[in-house]
Chains A and B, each alone.
Chain A
């Protein structure tokens, strides 16, 4: 049974998850939230209030860049694309999470 993820973990995992999604292609806020929800089978349901400040901060840090495009309906839509700094940061974070996971699992059997 899926358990509720602690708030701190949800916050900490947001940046690497966003970077991972954008590595597969440009995306926008609503779609990012939907992808996270789908991939986590509903375990992670991000609010817009959480996502957008993170996206804007990642943009300030040059991990991602935004540009205005058009939705199918013709509406203005802001897309985000991964930058080189973001790629490097993703690799670094994936390594860190893997190390933490390995450490955690090493205690599991004890």
Chain B
């Protein structure tokens, strides 16, 4: 017989163990999950189906995967990054700023290290392409590149003022 409380507890533990939610905030997630389940159960769905639908709706597939799954870790990392970007409407989020600083530092370092002008230009072009390509894992829009450039510019201006 399906034990709903046990299923919810296990699922929430997996979500925490995959670092999708912090342990100190998991009670909030649990309540949210129960709310979705209760809404369905009140409409006549059985508890097991309601649980499966709710966990699928919440969209943490990595909680269903084994803890040792490399694919789970990659997806989890991407989801955390996407959640951080999409959940933060500030252009100067630490993630955006950090990403901008890392790439800017790499480009500057290459410009200083590589003596030959032609090689320098080619390396810079490759790094610029790499910078844009990295947005495919963060947010594949030109707007994000502009946002990041503006963020870096503001950071430098603040430091110089």
Contacts and interface: CB of A to CB of B under 8 A. Distances in A.
Interface of A: 7-8, 11-12, 14-15, 28-30, 47-50, 52-54, 56-57, 71, 73, 75-78
Contacts of B83: 49-50, 53
Contacts, number: 53
Interface residues of B, number: 21
Interface of B: 25, 27-32, 34-36, 38, 58-59, 79, 83-84, 86-89, 143
A8 B84 contact: no
Given A11-B89, A14-B89, A48-B58, A53 B84 contact: yes
- Interface SS of B by simple majority: helix
Secondary structure class of chain A's binding surface, majority of residues: helix
Q: Name, among A29, A30, A76, the residue most crowded by chain B CB atoms within 10 Å (CB to CB).
A: A30
Contacts of A78: 27-28, 31
